[in-house]
């Protein structure tokens, strides 16, 4: 949960998740859909899919027990170098580094680490590897991350209060602001989606995405990329005899690499197909059940519009209904 996510954001999810899946066995026994539902709104859903896979591998291999070395941990899905190092050092006391974004920034400044991204990466892990060879490698690793998060911050570092300011090479060289360099960001691609709002007997038609890529495994209003007229787009998805009515609303949402625009159209007509590629499943869902399904925040907002939930702040409402 902490991968690319601030601690404060993850905490409530963490508690709910652990009460829902208290053990590796419980997680392994659960359906992916339930795991994704518990992850709903947290983002980067591949983490939930990987964690679920890891639980199943562990259950099969050693009765749910975790391996205790970074080397073995790194074999599990979702465990990269950082996570494997963090678990090994913090939970098992292994003398291995764990360099997250915060630690990387703090180390970069302390030792004036510069150069190409690749060289810096190597240097940072090397430095962290030396530092963690003490009695409490887990504490060292956490202290480094904490230093980066609380004091050696990206925009406004608090060098006045830094306990290692006398050792900081970036500070003595006047390069604190220049290190580390901001990483280049790619421009966002716009993704325009046309979505079907098909309501029948108080239920809305939802679709489950395939388990990969954007929003993989999550439920949503059936939609596809807008090419040409909305009626043509939606008939290609749900059948040629579909009746496409008025537009019910539009939703814009910014993701890291996407500018998402979702246009909602009222549709009706006959019965939907058994399946609609590339979806894995179609299902009629009542509003109460919809609120419990695995769904992105974007789609929660869209659904709130589609079902015409009253109230100005649909965003807050959608989020609080988890």
By CB under 7 A, residue 215 contacts DNA: yes
By CB under 7 A, residue 69 contacts DNA: no
By CB under 7 A, residue 109 contacts DNA: no
Nearest distance, CB of residue 178 and DNA, angstroms: 11
Residue 38, helix vs strand vs coil? helix
Nearest distance, CB of residue 201 and DNA, angstroms: 28
CB 206 within 8 A of CB 282: yes
Contact characters 8-27, DNA, x per CB under 7 A: xx------------------
Residue 26, helix vs strand vs coil? helix
Nearest distance, CB of residue 61 and DNA, angstroms: 16
Among 7, 18, 60, 247, binds DNA (CB under 7 A): 7
By CB under 7 A, residue 66 contacts DNA: no
Q: Is 267 or 299 the residue whose CB approaches DNA more closely?
A: 299
Q: Dmax of the chain from CA atoms?
A: 74
By CB under 7 A, residue 42 contacts DNA: yes
Looking from the CA of 239 toward its CB, the CA atoms found within 13 Å total 13
Packing angle between helix 32-39 and helix 7-20, nearest 10 degrees? 140
Pairing mode of beta strands 219-220, 203-208 = antiparallel
Contacts with DNA by CB under 7 A: the residue count is 57
Contact characters 135-174, DNA, x per CB under 7 A: -------x--xx-xx----xxx------------------
By CB under 7 A, residue 80 contacts DNA: yes
Query: Measured between alpha carbons, how far is residue 144 from residues 98, 126, 249, 274 in Å?
Result: 9, 14, 47, 53
Question: Which residues, including other chains, have CB under 8 Å from residue 149's CB and lie 6 or more apart?
Answer: 7, 102
By CB under 7 A, residue 278 contacts DNA: no
Q: Is 83 or 305 the residue whose CB approaches DNA more closely?
A: 83
Q: Is 62 or 189 the residue whose CB approaches DNA more closely?
A: 189
Among 283, 297, 307, 321, binds DNA (CB under 7 A): 297
By CB under 7 A, residue 6 contacts DNA: yes
Encode 117-131: b = buried (16+ Cβ within 10 Å), e = exposed. Answer: eeebeebbbebbeeb
Contact characters 220-259, DNA, x per CB under 7 A: ---------------------------------xxxxxx-
CB 241 within 8 A of CB 269: yes
Q: Is 73 or 267 the residue whose CB approaches DNA more closely?
A: 73
DSSP output for 177-223: TTSSPPPP-PPPEEEEEEEEEEEETTEEEEEE--SSSTTTT-EE--E
Query: Measured between alpha carbons, how far is residue 5 from residues 8, 43, 204, 217, 247 in Å?
Result: 8, 9, 32, 20, 35
Among 25, 56, 77, 131, binds DNA (CB under 7 A): 77
Contact characters 188-207, DNA, x per CB under 7 A: -x------------------
Give the C-alpha separation, 112 to 109, whole Å.
5
Query: Measured between alpha carbons, how far is residue 212 from residues 175, 208, 209, 217, 279 in Å?
Result: 42, 11, 8, 7, 11
Among 118, 166, 246, 271, binds DNA (CB under 7 A): 118
By CB under 7 A, residue 261 contacts DNA: no
Binding site for DNA (CB under 7 A): 2-9, 41-46, 50, 77-84, 86, 100-102, 105, 117-118, 142, 145-146, 148-149, 154-156, 182-183, 185-186, 189, 213-216, 253-258, 296-298, 319
């Amino acid at each position: 949960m902490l991968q690319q996510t601030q601690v404060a954001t993850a905490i409530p999810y963490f508690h709910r998740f652990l009460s829902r899946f208290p053990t590796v066995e419980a997680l392994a026994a659960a359906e992916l859909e339930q795991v994704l539902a518990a992850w709903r709104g947290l983002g980067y859903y591949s983490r939930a899919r990987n964690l679920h896979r890891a639980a199943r591998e562990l259950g099969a291999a050693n009765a749910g027990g975790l391996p205790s070395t970074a080397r073995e941990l790194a074999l599990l899905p979702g465990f990269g170098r950082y996570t494997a190092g963090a678990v090994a050092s913090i939970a098992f006391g292994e003398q291995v580094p764990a360099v997250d974004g915060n630690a990387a920034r703090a180390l970069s400044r302390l030792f004036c680490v510069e150069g190409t991204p690749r060289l810096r990466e190597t240097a940072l892990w090397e430095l962290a590897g030396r530092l963690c060879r003490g009695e409490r490698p887990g504490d060292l690793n956490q202290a480094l991350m904490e230093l980066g998060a609380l004091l050696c911050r990206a925009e406004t570092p608090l060098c006045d209060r830094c306990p290692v300011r006398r050792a900081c090479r970036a500070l003595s060289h006047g390069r604190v602001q220049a290190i580390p360099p901001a990483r280049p960001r790619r421009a966002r691609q716009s993704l325009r989606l046309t979505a079907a709002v098909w309501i029948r007997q108080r239920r809305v038609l939802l679709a489950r995405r395939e388990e990969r890529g954007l929003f993989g495994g999550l439920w949503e209003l059936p939609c596809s990329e807008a090419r040409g007229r909305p009626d043509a787009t939606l008939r290609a998805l749900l059948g040629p005899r579909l009746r496409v009515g008025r537009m019910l609303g539009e939703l814009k949402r910014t993701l890291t690499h996407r500018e998402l625009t979702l246009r909602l159209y009222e549709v009706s007509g006959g019965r939907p197909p058994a399946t609609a590629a590339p979806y894995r499943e179609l299902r009629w869902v009542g509003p109460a059940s919809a609120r419990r399904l695995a769904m992105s925040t974007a789609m929660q907002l869209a659904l709130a519009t589609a079902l015409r939930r009253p109230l100005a702040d649909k965003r807050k409402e959608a989020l609080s209904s988890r």
